[in-house]
């Protein structure tokens, strides 16, 4: 099955199917990562206010624009509204702050990072995981998703975002948005990989013409760092890269295991945003268009799906987060 390098969105915006993920990419690593990615052909970068690297990304993009090697219109840049700002009045100020850090006039895609709203505990906007003195996360129980979505739509109207979408929304939450939306979300960015193929959510999104973007497409093996920084032990991380079946398919095509994991998702019509700060792996993760998995390969890889049991992102490292009424990770979605 052939795969196009972009999906054409309703507003004629081209959504490149391979993007560079940047969670846990330190500002000091960003220049090399973005330079390498743009040189090998990536045109889509995924970041978030809470990744604390928007400024470094903005600096590197400016160098590319100043050197005239690329124009703003050549790129597709995504960033996200953080959890302490999931309320209507915070949408525009946070988007403006992200744009200031990115040194851009608009983003191509602005996402609600997570349906869970948090209550800030201080004036520090960079404190994106506010915690109460008892160690639990500071929940905002009155998160109003339809009202927040209305404020997201206003960002398309005012030209600060070319398109808008959601992330970590489950089927019920997607339906809630779709019922109220004037502008539909273009994507739901969720955990999705060979062991967690998100069948019900994909079916629902297809119905509404919403593209599904796969985060952690190679299993997010580096996330121990995020837990360690918070004094916690990471939960078991699935060894997708070393799965023998994936290895078999990779050997047949003379490609790496990571390339097979990514190509499998592309052939399912998904957008993938693998993260790497390593030039060799950044290149490897982009070389996905010179081979095709046949139906037997796809069947083999599909057999690895564990359904809801394959989920590994539950945000439970933020103590008490599952007490929020919009906690999304309650079912396979």
Ligand X SMILES: NC(=O)C1=CN([C@@H]2O[C@H](COP(=O)(O)OP(=O)(O)OC[C@H]3O[C@@H](n4cnc5c(N)ncnc54)[C@H](OP(=O)(O)O)[C@@H]3O)[C@@H](O)[C@H]2O)C=CC1
Q: How many residues does the chain have?
A: 333
* Interaction between residue 193 and ligand NHF (CB under 6 A): no
State the first-to-last Cα distance of the chain, in angstroms, to the nearest integer.
26
Helices (H) and strands (E) in the chain, counts: 11, 10
Rank residues 204 and 271 by Cβ distance to ligand X and give the closer one. 271
Q: Is 113 annotated as a binding residue?
A: yes
User: x/- site string to ligand NHF, residues 30 to 69, per CB under 6 A?
Assistant: ------------------x-x-------------------
* Interaction between residue 283 and ligand X (CB under 6 A): no
* Interaction between residue 166 and ligand X (CB under 6 A): no
Task: Give the DSSP per-residue string, 19-82.
Answer: -EE-TT--HHHHHHHHHHHHHHT--EEE--GGGT-HHHHHHHHHHHHHTTSS-GGG-EEEEEE-
Choose the contact partner of 187 out of ligand X, ligand NHF, none; CB within 5 to 8 A by kind. none
* Interaction between residue 313 and ligand NHF (CB under 6 A): yes
* Interaction between residue 113 and ligand NHF (CB under 6 A): yes
- The one catalytic residue in 42, 51, 94, 327 is 51
Q: Return phi, psi of residue 2, to 5°.
A: -85, 155
- CB 64 to ligand NHF: min, Å: 25
- CB 24 to ligand NHF: min, Å: 8
Extract the runs of DSSP E, i.e. beta strands, from 235-299. 271-272
Rank residues 165 and 297 by Cβ distance to ligand NHF and give the closer one. 165
* Interaction between residue 326 and ligand X (CB under 6 A): no
Q: Comparing C-alpha atoms, which of 315, 260, 320, 314 is closest to residue 284? A: 260
Q: Which of 125, 237, 241, 308 binds ligand X (CB under 6 A)?
A: 241
User: x/- site string to ligand X, residues 38 to 57, per CB under 6 A?
Assistant: --------x-----------
User: x/- site string to ligand X, residues 67 to 106, per CB under 6 A?
Assistant: ----------------------------------------
Are 167 and 173 in contact, with CB atoms under 8 Å apart? Answer: no
Question: Is 51 in the active site?
Answer: yes
Give the C-alpha separation, 188 to 271, whole Å: 10
Number of residues interacting with ligand X: please give it, by CB under 6 A: 29
Taking residue 316's Cβ as centre, other Cβ atoms within 10 Å add up to: 13
Q: Which of 276, 304, 311, 318 binds ligand X (CB under 6 A)?
A: 276
- CB 66 to ligand X: min, Å: 25
Residue 174 neighbours by CB under 8 Å, 6+ apart: 166, 185, 188, 201, 204, 205, 208, 210
* Interaction between residue 281 and ligand X (CB under 6 A): yes
Give the C-alpha separation, 288 to 241, whole Å: 16
Choose the contact partner of 21 out of ligand NHF, ligand X, none; CB within 5 to 8 A by kind. ligand X
Task: Give the DSSP per-residue string, 78-118.
Answer: EEEE-GGG-SHHHHHHHHHHHHHHHT-S-EEEEEES-S--B
* Active site residues per annotation: 51
Binding residues for substrate: 113
């Amino acid at each position: 099955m052939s795969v196009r390098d972009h999906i054409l969105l309703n507003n004629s915006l081209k959504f490149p199917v391979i993007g560079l993920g940047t969670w846990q990419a330190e500002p000091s690593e960003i220049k090399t990562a973005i330079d390498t990615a743009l040189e090998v052909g990536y045109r889509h970068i995924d970041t978030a206010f809470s990744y604390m690297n928007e400024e470094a990304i903005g600096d590197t993009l400016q160098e590319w624009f100043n050197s005239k090697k690329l124009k703003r219109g050549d790129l597709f840049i995504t960033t996200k509204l953080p959890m302490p700002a999931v309320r209507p009045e915070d949408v525009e100020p946070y988007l403006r702050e992200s744009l200031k850090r990115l040194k851009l006039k608009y983003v191509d895609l602005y996402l609600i990072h997570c349906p869970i709203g948090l209550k800030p505990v201080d004036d520090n906007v960079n404190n994106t995981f506010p915690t109460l003195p008892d160690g639990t996360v500071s929940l905002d129980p009155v998160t109003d998703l339809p009202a927040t979505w209305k404020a997201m739509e206003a960002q398309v109207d005012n030209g600060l975002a070319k398109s808008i979408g959601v992330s970590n929304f489950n089927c019920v939450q997607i339906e809630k948005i779709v019922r109220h939306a004037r502008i539909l979300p273009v994507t739901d960015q969720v955990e999705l990989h060979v062991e967690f193929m998100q069948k019900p959510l994909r079916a629902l999104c297809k119905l509404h013409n919403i593209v599904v973007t796969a985060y952690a497409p190679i299993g997010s093996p580096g996330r121990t760092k995020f837990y360690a920084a918070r004094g916690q032990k990471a939960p078991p991380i699935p060894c997708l890269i070393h799965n023998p079946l994936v290895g078999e398919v990779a050997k047949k095509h003379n490609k790496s295991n990571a390339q097979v994991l990514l190509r499998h998702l592309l052939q399912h019509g998904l957008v993938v945003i693998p993260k790497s700060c390593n030039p060799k792996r950044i290149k490897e993760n982009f070389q996905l268009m010179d081979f095709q998995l046949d139906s037997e390969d796809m069947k083999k890889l599909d057999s690895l799906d564990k359904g809801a049991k394959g989920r590994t992102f539950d945000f439970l490292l933020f103590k008490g987060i599952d007490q929020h009424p919009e906690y999304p990770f309650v079912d396979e979605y």
